[in-house]
Amino acid sequence: MTLPYALDTITVAQIAKFESKIMKILITGGAGFIGSNFVHYWAEQHPEDSIIVFDALTYAANRASLASLQNKITFVEGDITDREAVDAVMAGVDCVVHFAAESHNDRAIADPFIFTKTNVIGTHTLLESARQHKVSRFHHISTDEVFGDIPLNEKYKFSESTRYNPRSPYSASKAGSDHVVNAYFETYKLPVTISNCTNNFGPYQHPEKLIPRSIIRLLHGQNIPIYGEGNQVRDWLYVKDHCRAIELILQKGKIGDTYCVGGMTEEVTNLQIAQKLIKALGLSENKIEFVTDRAGHDVKYAIDWSKINKELGWQPEHDFDTWLTTTVEWYKNNEAWWKETANEAESFYKAQGEQVLTK
């Protein structure tokens, strides 16, 4: 059997596409948090490109995130597990940037099967369609959670060579998707790249996630619900820094390679984040409560981002505290964007039996 492409041919073709500047870019999950930030970023940085957003508009999507771009993008509502819909949108596409996924750990614990369906079958469906349509680049957005977690007393970090060891239904489904992406590179020479990034934060993040949930609850005069003892550590990455990293990978990344993207230079626990948010909102009283812990809660994630720094010249633009202040301001000024979904998120947590243990 002849392979659809020779690797050298694809590399040259891919470079030619990116140098020619005009590109048809398909962004899956573009109505979600990181996807919508990336659509804004790409439309601003590459106004000549044709942008198609493909999104199933699940509970996690918010059309309002793209409202100001209405005349600059094509929005297609569709499911990445639907091969016919995917084939229809893939025609003529040069580059796929794949964000669409079920992304929330607490929902994966409550209802895991949709995670395997969307994240593994959906990614596989896109890959097969991209192969048939001979796209010049498929970039897959993944997570540091595929590597498992790091004991709190250990100082090592995850890197591109860390063995996969997912511990939750969400991270297992993301790990599965990464393996299928790599298989399409090895077997069919589909020109892929992968980025494994850490916890993102910033505008347009669903109120179910720690930072927006905490800010919104403080704005409502409520407490921040901290799981367990709050000593868990995440490697926070501002979403715009992440968008710049993806752009660099698309422009200069090596086909078939993985890039780890993280943000922090020092460790900050969930409890410390809660304290920083209380201070940022000018509050002084104790606004923290300890609630039911997450099942199988990963204690620490940390990423060594030296590869993307050395090879592509990427680094975060500002430190965590600066970006956290920007984020707090955004939520203060955009209540209309989060009001409804914040109520839905709180109903979800209530239905899961979240209980206050101590204050």
The angle at the Cα of 304, spanning 298 to 310, to the nearest 5 degrees, equals 160
* Residue 47 identity: P
| The entry of ligand NAD, ligand TDX, none that residue 99 binds, CB within 5 to 8 Å by partner kind | ligand NAD
What residues between 273 and 312 interact with ligand TDX by CB under 6 A? 294
| The entry of ligand TDX, ligand NAD, none that residue 56 binds, CB within 5 to 8 Å by partner kind | ligand NAD
* Contact assessment for residue 76 and residue 5, using Cβ atoms and an 8 Å cutoff: no
Check residue 60 for interaction with ligand TDX (CB under 6 A): no
Distance between CA atoms of residues 42 and 306, nearest Å: 24
Q: Which helix (H) or strand (E) holds 215?
A: helix 210-219
* Contact assessment for residue 43 and residue 247, using Cβ atoms and an 8 Å cutoff: no
Residue nearest to ligand TDX (CB): 143
Report the half-sphere exposure of 8 (CA within 13 A, side-chain side). Answer: 0
Q: Which is nearer to ligand NAD, 10 or 61 (CB)?
A: 61
Distance between CA atoms of residues 98 and 223, nearest Å: 35
Check residue 37 for interaction with ligand TDX (CB under 6 A): no
Shortest CB 249 distance to ligand TDX, Å: 17
- Judge whether 144 counts as a catalytic residue: yes
Q: Which residues bind ligand NAD (CB under 6 A)?
A: 28-29, 31-35, 55-58, 60-61, 79-81, 99-103, 118, 122, 141, 143, 174, 197, 199-200, 206
Shortest CB 117 distance to ligand TDX, Å: 16
Phi, psi of 193 (to 5 degrees): -140, 155
Shortest CB 188 distance to ligand TDX, Å: 27
The stretch near ligand TDX (CB under 6 A) out of 97-105, 156-164, 235-243, 259-267 is 97-105
Torsion angle, alpha carbons of 157, 162, 168, 174, to 10? 120
Shortest CB 28 distance to ligand TDX, Å: 15
Shortest CB 82 distance to ligand NAD, Å: 8
Contact with ligand TDX (CB under 6 A): which of 98, 104, 131, 244?
104
Residue nearest to ligand NAD (CB): 32
Applying CB under 6 A, the residues found at the interface with ligand TDX are: 103-105, 143, 145, 199, 209-210, 213, 225-227, 232, 234, 270, 294
